[in-house]
Each structure stands twice: as structure tokens, then as C-alpha cells.
Chains A and B, each alone.
Chain A
Amino acid sequence: MLKKLGSWARQWEGKLTEDLVLKPGEFGLGKVPGRLKPDSITNMVCGFCSTGCGLNIHLKDGTAINLSPNTHYPVNLGMACPKGWEALTPLQAPDRATDPLLRNTAGELAPVGWDEALKTFVTRFKGIQAQHGNNSVAWLGTGQIVTEELAFLGALGKFGMNLLHGDGNTRQCMATAVVAYKQSFGFDAPPYTYQDFEESDVIVLVGSNLCIAHPIMWQRICRNKNKPEIVVIDPRKTETAMAATQHYPILPKSDLTFFYGLAHLLIKHGRINKAFIEASCTGFDEFSRHVEDFTPERVSQVSGISVRDLQKLALTLHRGQRVSYWWTMGVNQSYEGVRVAQAIINLALMTGNIGRPGTGANSITGQCNAMGSRLFSNTTNLLGGHDFTNAIDREKIAGILGINVANIPDTNSWAYDQIIDGIKQDKIKGLWVVATNSAHSWIDQNDFSRLIKKLDFFVVQDMYHSTETAQLADLVLPAAGWGEKEGTFINSERRFGVCKKVCRAPGQALADFYIFKLVAEYWGCGEMFKKWTSPEAVFQILKELSKGQPCDITGIRDYQTIDHAGGIQWPLKSGELLKSSERRLFEDGKYFHTDQRARFIFETPAAPAEATDAEFPYLLLTGRGTSSQWHTQTRTGKSDVLKKLCPQSVYVEINPEDAEKLQIMSHQKVRVESRRGSLTANAFLTTVVARGQVFIPMHYATSNKLTHPSFDPYSRQPSYKACAVKISAIGMEMRGHKE
């Protein structure tokens, strides 16, 4: 009786308690929320970044209800970053595009049926082509959709719609690595496998905040049992620099000189691998002469790193038995990024740190399918890493696809910036943007938004109708997202992973694949794609396209094979046995140039296009803010949890000593101004950023109002990471406080 009374007064169980009760999830999951107990699970690759983690999707009646990282996937070994954990949430956002939207006479986007949308699409684009020529319509694609869709878009655009100019947002992240690899190795071939992180004894990270941008790769470093020297070369004391054993805060854009200086020191002290250079490289002597002038004193002056520290680093590189070099956007997004990447490649080559476990000159990719875009988007390269200007390649592709070779253009496409410039020159009058948010992410954003208004017809195909770019469109095509369609992604280490349809797309939204099918039909070129019946059918076509190429995947049977293997890295030639889940390139010392040798490529460093001066005395760096933010936040901004893990509004990191000069207090509102635009931000005073430099994360809508449109001449990649700005405090609101 008393007990009953007690339990009535003090309630240990009930509905509220039950809500959080955990139950065995089975399938090797351990306990899971009882409410979300799956009846089956399936693995698929994450759709945010290029790490390409395997996620266990927890299914109930075939629909995703939850997820957890896959312990058995060779990439992430049971871990994920916040974006991966929250990958399903953005699919439920209320601002999903659910119907095609057409701008009406009142200037508003209003829902229309697919039939009307597609008729308008075809009528308007064909109209523009009739008036201004075929090449007056262009597309801007992405690294966020599956490879099969990328290939479809590229083939449809160039072979079906007779467009010449198409590019993707991979231009903004990976173009530099592509060109660097192509020139140095003869093919766009990142040589590494993630296992190399675990096997190095010296790991050099250049312009890469791995802890925040690629936390799962950092996990692989944490698993390294060799107590490696971790060297971070970055102007900021990033999270990764904090966790490193050596940090070299070089002055922004002194990187090319810095690496030539290291080469100089290594050569001077004979710390090079002559046998390897002899056997596998060309151009070393010229390179050796080139770096003669890069004396430690000169390099120290340019980079701000003392001669002693330079020598220390050179010695570290020399002492390492397995030195791996890794770079990301700090290198790629530069006006001379290709040469910087090649300066890194040169270091790996001259010391023989390539083609062995724990070595390599390794570009870490950005987007989940930038690698798929690089090989199969039919923009910079003809499908499968072929060459538009090569008649044999065109014949080969035409044969495989069963199309008339005349449909394949024999000239290269314009790059992203040239397409934008084409709008300015009235040469591009129609534009089709697929799964990217150019109005937010493109450099010198104000100029972009002005130019878009010059277009006769602007189509945006996206998951959300609310993106800055979709809001400017004449026609919005509602797309299904990751998790709502099938296909493959290729990750940083060349691994194919499978995406599955585990959620229903909202309303009338269709997978990009279906949208391309419909466009082809309405355009009148449906016949050309009659074999392209499903993503997996297209995968079989991709296999054929890859045959005989360095990225040959004819040995992969189908999606199921990839799924069972935990992803498969290219190449895997027909008949070749998959020996290991972790494979690297160049173990035989043979490269993809016709002479099978790697090239030393170099050039005299140039000055940045916009240096600081008296009026704009601070150098603006941009980059990743937190691990919970992805690019323009169109998806991560839809998860309440991810939003909690990052600052809600744009902020600028300022060194406290600079702030004192400028009389700026912590968390005060400041205006940051460049010659192109200005923004208002919260000041965050931190020693993480050096004096004379400021840092603004790229995720906020106004960041690119400031950036300076300069480009690497070889890769056409925008130089996001250096422009001159001035800063001033706003108002008298003395919320801040001096330390």
C-alpha cells in the first residue's frame, strides 16, 4: 500500500520516460532509441563532403528513420562528423522545392506543372539559341549530384542540346588540383588512400584545416601508430595547427616561395632521392636551377618564417621515412594554385615520397562528388577523362554512346568565370544552374547578381526554392536530394560509393536523373539517351567510357559489388581482382604521361592581384568556419542541431592587437569593406589570426561581396583567400570589452 502510494507520489516510469527508452537495435547497432528501432539497415555513402563516409541508414518499412556511421566501411570506421549524423534532417525542410516554379508576369515565382515547366525550358532555351546561336546557352553544374547524373547533364548539354559551354562548381574547389595532377602525372589522379594517413611518419598539411573540414580524415591521423610529426602550414593557428606538432604560419600567398625554399634546402644538402628522380621523373635539373635563388634568407623574408624554422622543417622532411603531403583549399583557391600544388608535388617527387605506403602528394577533395565531376561531367574533359580536342577520343566516345561524332564539340568549354564573363559580353543569354548556389558562392558576388539580371532566361534546378540563386531564377526545377535517389559518388581517394533511395522526395520533386530524361524528351533528343534508362544503366555506360583510361572501372560489376566491397577505388580493370580495400597509385613508379615519367613543373612566383595598401590595409582570408556548416548552408542551415553548433551570423576574426589600433572591442559590430563591396560582421578578437590579417568564414551570404575576382591562369580557379579590406567599428554601442 505504502509502496503504491510512494510510486504514485514519485513516478519512475510512464509515457515521458518511455519516450527516451533505448532498445537493442540489432544489426550490430547496439542500443537505439526504442521509437526508432529499425527493421532493416543499409549502407550508403554520405552526401556532404569528399571524405565519403559510409552511413548505416536505419530503415522502417523501407524508409529511413535514423542513421549511424558504418563501423565496417573502410573510410570512416564507424565515425561521422555532425553533417553526416544529421544528413537526413535537411530533406524534411519546409522550403523544399516541391513544384516547378515559373516567374509570372507579376515577377513572382509561381507553381506550374512539369509539362509547362519543361515546355517553357525548351521553348526559351531553343529560342535563345535560334536568336543568338547554340553557344549562347550554358550550364553551371556541381559536385553534389551522383556521377551518373553528372554524366547525363554533360552529355545532354553538349551532345543533345548542342551547348558548348558548361562548367561546375568544382571549378571553385578542385580545378587547381586537376590541372596540377594532369600536368605533373599525365592524368587527374590523386594517388593516395586514407590508410596513408595512418602509415606516415611525417604528415604535412598545407592550407588544410582537417580537424574542421575533414574530421574523419583527422581521425585517421589520430589512428597513426608511428607518433608522426604533424606539420601544418597555414597562416592561421587553426584547430589543426593547434593539434599539430609543428606549425608554420607563413604569410598569406607566400606559399610558392616557401616551398621552393624548402626544395632549395633539400637539394643544397643533398637530401633528395636521386635514384627515384632518375627512374621516374623529368625536368629535375631545370627545377633545381630554378630554386637556386630561393635562399633561406629570401624565403624567410617573404614568408615570415625564420631561417632556423625553415631548416627545421627541411630536416623534418628529410628525416621522415614516409612523408605524406596533403593540401586543400588554401592551395587550390589561389591565383597561382596550380604551381603551388606542383611545388608540393615536386617535394614529394624529389624525395621519393610517392607510391609507397604513407607517402604522396595528395589533394584532399571538397565536395562529395567533385571527383565524379572531374572524370564524368563532360565539361573540362570529354567523358571519362578524355580530350574534346582529340579526334580519336571523340570517335571513341561517339562509338560507345552510339551518337554521331559531329555532336561532340571539338573545342573546350569556357570555365565558370568565362561563362560569367560571357554574360557580361552578351554572349551568354541563357543559363541553367544545377545544384549549386552561385549567387552566394561565386567570387565578387555583387557583380554576379548584377550580371544574372542580363540573362534572357535563367533556370535553377535545386532541392530548395529558397537558395539565393533560385530566388533569381525565371524557372525553378524541383530536385530530389541525396537519400532520395540512386547513383554513385567518388570520394577523395578515388572510391566509388553507392547512394540509395531511402526517402521519398516531397511533392513533384524529381531526381536530377529524371529531370534530365524529361528535358531530353522535351528537347527532342530523347532517342540519344534511350539506353540511359536508370542510374545503374548509366553506370554500365560509364564503365565502358573508362575502359583503357587510368580511371578504368570495367572490373566493377555493379552497385551491389561496390556496396559489398565497402566502396571500390578506381582503377579496377576488367578481370582484375580487388586485392585490398585500400589501394594507392604509382607503386610501380610509372606515371600517365606517354614517357611514363612525372614532370617537375615550376614558375616564378607572382604577386597577388590585390595587395594591401594604405586604404585597404588588411588581408582577408576566407575558409571553413565549423564542421557543422557546409558551403552556403542551404542544407546544414536546415538542421536545428547543426545550426546550434555554429555562429548564426557572419563574424570576422581580428587579431586583438589590430583591434586595439582600430578601437574595436570584442563582439562589436564592424564594417568590413573591400573595393567591391562591404558587409557588417561581429568582431571576434582572437590571436588565432595574425596581425594584418582577418578571417571570415565562407558560409555566410555576404562573405563573397568582398572577394576579389582573380583566377589561376591554368585552372581558372578563383582566388578566394586573399583580398584587401579595411575595417571600421560601427556605432557607439560599447557592448564590447577590452581584455
Chain B
Amino acid sequence: MAASQTIEFKPVSRFDSLQAERSEESLIDQYIREQKTLTPVDRFSRKHEEQLFPAQQKYYQDLIPLGLPAAGQQYAFEVNLDQCTGCKGCVTACHSLNGLDEGETWRSVGLLHGGSTQQPVQQTVTTACHHCVDPACMNGCPVLAYEKDPVTGIVRHLDDQCIGCQYCILKCPYDVPKYHKTKGIVRKCDMCSSRLTVGEAPACVQACPNEAIKITLVDRQEVSTGFRERGEEFLVGAPEGSYTLPTTRYVTNRPLPSNMRPADDHEIKPEHAHPPLVMMLVLSQLSVGAFLFGWLTSFFPFPSHDRAFQAISALAAGLLALASSTLHLGRPLYAWRAVLGLKTSWLSREIVAFGLFAKFAILYAASFWLEPFLAILKPGIVRDSLTFFSPATIQNGLGFMVIFSGFAGIYCSARIYQDTRREFWKAWLTTGRFFGTTLLLGLATIPLALGLSLRSMPAADAANLSRIVQWFLFFLLTISLTKLGWEAMILSHLKSGKLTPLKRTALLMKIELRNVTAFRFLSGFCGGLLLPALLILLGPTSIPPVMLSTLLVLSLVFCLIGELLERHLFFSCVIPPKMPGSLSL
């Protein structure tokens, strides 16, 4: 385009006169000023302004129950699939009438499709919180931030109680609770309970042009027997109802063919990797493992200062783990509330267990200085009570408590994830993984601690210890090989003919996260197989001390990186269950 081309043309003199008028106010300024003046509303006064009842009531009065639920009953959404045609007005109405923040939605509309070329079928599905009879979100919440209203059955989230741990998001099989990043809490649908209280319909019910959504009363026992005993299907393409007993009822007069699939069935996206949780899990497991093997070394003639160094390092890792776990919380200041959920929440139990672990670990690490401490302590009741048991007995006792509480913590960690009922986080997969890391990283710290002191030892002791180091390295090698091989087995699901959750996990590892997967196995191989094998073959004493320390440090670092990447994959490659979605990518 010839934008710079000069055109011989004289502007009309009107320009100058327009400029001259500026002494008053130029036309441009006048129009910009007028543009900023809004239409006065009183020009359009409205007759129904003083209306007492909501205008929409005439449409929705038949769509909500007349009274409160009777004993054993509760409110529930009922969706008439024949009427839902995918306008998605319910999603935006919920957003606007509940004052949600930009981009925040509590309702969604999915699409199921199937049938045959001759008889194609598609069905849109509106969905929100199912206000389950046995809500997984509530059961998992460590701070009791959920309550199920005893009368209405509405599952309500207490926003001010929430600490933003997001465990409910992992627990809910229907992807209902949504994390609000800037507020640091989760928010969700409460069936517009304050509207229902005054006889108004929830926003979605008010807004559906086709009256596809209504509120009904359901019998809680009936929901339970329906799903858990009669094995009723909740909705084709949706997670089964027996787990949480969702109360929403999807009704239709034209049964959907069994080959209906969600439109987003093939949209396989990595989940959030949760770096603070990755750090927390791996470092806590490293710490427990290091304490375990450090404690075991007390039964061998290991130099005490090595064991002290090892214990201090393990403690540092453990404390770092706990610190990084708080980074995951939206409101870490309220983390102490986590004790409230002990009765039902594995997350609460984990927090308590690791809390005890940290205290024992501190005492255990301090116990290495018990003797020098006692030496400077004046004789008296304090000293007497401290010497009631021998220092070694105290240390061993504490060591046992550290390991016991640590293992309890790791067990709770594993239960947290297996309790979400996701395939990739199944019991044996998660427990094996977590304890595998514990043993692997714990073992990797021992040769390091000992290797460092080999050089300052008499030759005979060094040779003796060197053999023990070799044994530890051998165990490390064995565990690494087992764990890597076992992790790689997930990739065998790629061959599966069906798009199962584990096949999706394998696909994510193979495609979207192929670099992470490759580095995970490479690191694990270097740290857990190559370097230990090399050291075993050469024999620790035959290697120059500096080289030996370097190789041992490298082995631990590679193992640690490998496990961190493994945990990154653990979070990113899990396939969460959810309601059928529509195309989104």
C-alpha cells in the first residue's frame, strides 16, 4: 500500500476554521465530552421498578420444590436431557448472577456423541455440583471446610475455612470444586442455597430457556441403594455413581446408545505438576529414608560424626519438605487447621504424622550432641533424668520413633493419592512408588556420608567400611533397577486397544511429557545404576578420595533429580475422572 505516496491536494479551509473554533471548545473535544456522558436513566423510568416479587418467578415456580425436604430427603438437580440443546446459558447465568470472577464458572456443558452414520446421536449435558450423599470433597477436606446441610443436603463450601490445599479438587470425581488463585481458596456451586431459602430458583434454573434444569427432592437412601446395590448408571460417559452417590438425575425419553463418548474424550492434557508437592513428597521420603539407613548404621562400626552429619542432612531435607508443602497452600497461615479433619482426611493424618516426625527428627539429630551436652551440664535433677537411660538407648529410641512416624507419614501420603481413585494413583502404584523413593534416596545418602570419611580412616577400617559401602551401593542399584523397570511398565499400556486411563497416562508420558520422561529415566540410570555399578566394580578404596566424593555426590544428585522428575510425572500424567466435556482445545 502506498501509504507514504504524496498526493497533490490542498485541504479545505474548513480545517482552519475548525481549529479556530477551539477558543471555545473544538468539535472533537465536545464529542469526546459527550461520549463520556451516559444516557440518563430517568428518561426511561420503569413501571415495574417497585416490583415486590422477582419477575422471573412466574417461569420457575414450577421448577423448584414447594417445601423443604422431608427426613431422609434432600434437594437435587434434575436435568431433562431432551430439553438441553447446548445453548450454555446456564453457565453464564450462574457466572453473572453469583458474581463470579472473570473466567470463573461453576457449571459446564459437555457433549456426548455416538450412534452410527445412519443414526447419529449427539447430546449436550449441563452439569454442576451433584451435592452427593457421600461427598468425596467433604470427606477429604483436612480442615472441615465443607458441610452437608442436614436439611437440604446441599454440599456447601466454607470459603473462610478453606486453606487452599485443593485436595477436594483431587477428590471430586466430577471436577466440581474450582481453585481461585488470587483468593487462594476453592469455590463451588452451593445450589444457590440462599436463593432457595427465600423461594427463588438457582441461577441456572432461572436462566434455562428450555426449562431443562429443575430442583427436585430425592431420597438419600434411594440414591445409595440405586448406585451401590442395584448398580444403576449415573450417566453414560460419566464416572460411576457408587463412589460419592451424586444426587443429580439425568432424565430422558430417548435412551442414549451405549457407544456415546464425551467429545473431549481424546483431549488428553497434562495436569498441574504441583512443584511444591513434588518437593514435599520427594524430600520427605528422602529424609525418612536417610533416617532409616542412618539409624541402621548404628548397628555397624560407623564413625559417630558421619552419622551425625547424615542425620543433620536428613533433618534438613525433612524440614525443607515441610516448608515446601506450605507453598502449595493458598492460605498457609491457616495450615494449623489441618488437625480438624483427622477423623476422615488422610491429608490431616499426613500432616499430623509428619509434624510428629519433624519433632522426633530434631530430637534425634540433637541426640548426637547429648554426651558433650551432658558433660557440660551441672549435676542435678535435669542431668539425672537425662542420664536415666544411656545416651545410646535414648538415641536408638528416638531413631525408632523418627522412622515409625516417618513411615506413618509416607503411608498417609500414599493414601492421600490412592483415595482419589485415579487409576495411575492406585494403591500399589502409589505406595510402591513412595516407599521405593524412600529406600532409594535413603540408600543413596549412606555411601555419601561414609565415603566422605573413608579417606581419614586407618586402612583396615577403611577397607572394612568400603565393603559395607559396596553393599549399600549394591542395594541402591537393585532398588533403582526395580523401581525404574516398574515405572516403565506403565508404558506397556500404549499397546492397549482401548483408551483406558492408564493408556492416556502412558500417552502423556510418551508425547506431551516425553522430555521429562526421558530425563527421568536418564537421571535414574546415571544415579542409581551407572555410578553405583562403576563404584562397586572399582572398589571405593581404589578411587582417589576427591573423585570418590564427587562420584558419590553425583550419584545422589542424579537419583534425587530422577525422583523429582518421577514425581512431576506422577502429578502431570494422572487422568482425573470428570463429567463428559465438550471440545476445548
Contacts and interface: CB of A to CB of B under 8 A. Distances in A.
A688 interface: yes
B41 A510 contact: no
B560 interface: no
A112 interface: no
Contacts of B15: 119, 522
B18 A79 contact: no
B190 to A, nearest CB: 8
Nearest to B59: A78
A606 interface: no
Interface stretch (B119-127, B242-250, B349-357, B537-545): B119-127
A76 B95 CA distance: 19
A557 interface: no
B114 interface: yes
Contacts of B159: 14, 16-17, 19-20
B38 A62 contact: yes
B162 to A, nearest CB: 7
B158 A12 contact: yes
Interface in A107-124: 107, 113-115, 118-119, 122-124
Given A501-B38, A735-B511, A130 B9 contact: yes
A359 B211 CA distance: 25
Contacts of A128: 7
Nearest to B51: A28
A30 B200 contact: yes
- Which of B2, B9, B200: most chain A CB closer than 10 A? B9
Contacts of A455: 1
Nearest to B209: A219
Interface in A393-439: none
- Which of B56, B82, B102, B144: most chain A CB closer than 10 A? B56
Contacts of A105: 4
A627 B88 contact: yes
Contacts of A119: 11, 15
Interface string A290-314: 0000000000000000000000000
Given A524-B12, A687-B113, A735-B511, A502 B39 contact: yes
Contacts of B456: none
B28 A115 contact: yes
B499 to A, nearest CB: 5
Contacts of B40: 62
Interface in A9-26: 9-17, 19-22
A215 B87 contact: yes
Given A126-B9, A504-B38, A79 B88 contact: no
Contact of A215 (B89, B103, B116): B89
Contact of A243 (B43, B58, B85): B85
Contacts of A41: 46, 49
A27 B49 contact: yes
A161 interface: no
Contact of B18 (A59, A72, A85, A522): A522
Given A128-B7, A514-B31, A522-B18, A242 B123 contact: yes
B35 interface: yes
B290 interface: no
Given A119-B15, A122-B11, A211-B87, A641 B160 contact: no
B266 A736 contact: yes
Interface string B561-585: 0000000000000000000001111
A588 interface: no
B266 A735 contact: yes
Contact of A474 (B3, B47, B92): B3
A686 B117 contact: no
Given A114-B28, A222-B210, A641-B95, A17 B158 contact: yes
B526 interface: no
B38 A518 contact: no
B161 interface: yes
A628 B103 CA distance: 13
B200 A82 contact: no
B7 A131 contact: yes
A68 B27 contact: no
B344 interface: no
A627 B93 CA distance: 14
A212 interface: yes
B259 interface: yes
Contact of B92 (A28, A85, A526): A85
B131 interface: no
A295 B198 CA distance: 63
Contact of A79 (B85, B89, B113): B89
A656 interface: yes
Given A86-B92, A502-B39, A518-B28, A524 B14 contact: yes
B321 interface: no
A622 interface: no
Contacts of A504: 35-36, 38
Contacts of A452: 1
27 contacts: A19-B99, A31-B54, A36-B99, A68-B96, A76-B209, A80-B207, A114-B28, A119-B15, A222-B83, A222-B210, A474-B1, A505-B35, A505-B36, A510-B31, A510-B32, A514-B34, A517-B31, A522-B15, A524-B14, A626-B88, A627-B86, A641-B105, A645-B92, A657-B117, A684-B263, A687-B116, A736-B266
Interface of A: 9-17, 19-22, 27-36, 40-43, 59, 62-63, 66-69, 71-72, 76-82, 85-86, 89, 103, 105, 107, 113-115, 118-119, 122-124, 126-128, 130-131, 211-212, 215-216, 218-219, 222, 237, 239-240, 242-243, 452-458, 474, 480, 484-486, 498, 500-505, 508-511, 514, 517-518, 521-524, 526, 559-560, 563-564, 626-628, 640-642, 644-645, 647-649, 651, 655-657, 665-667, 682, 684, 686-688, 690-691, 733, 735-737, 739
Given A30-B57, A239-B122, 7 more contacts: A20-B98, A27-B51, A30-B54, A212-B87, A243-B85, A504-B35, A682-B585
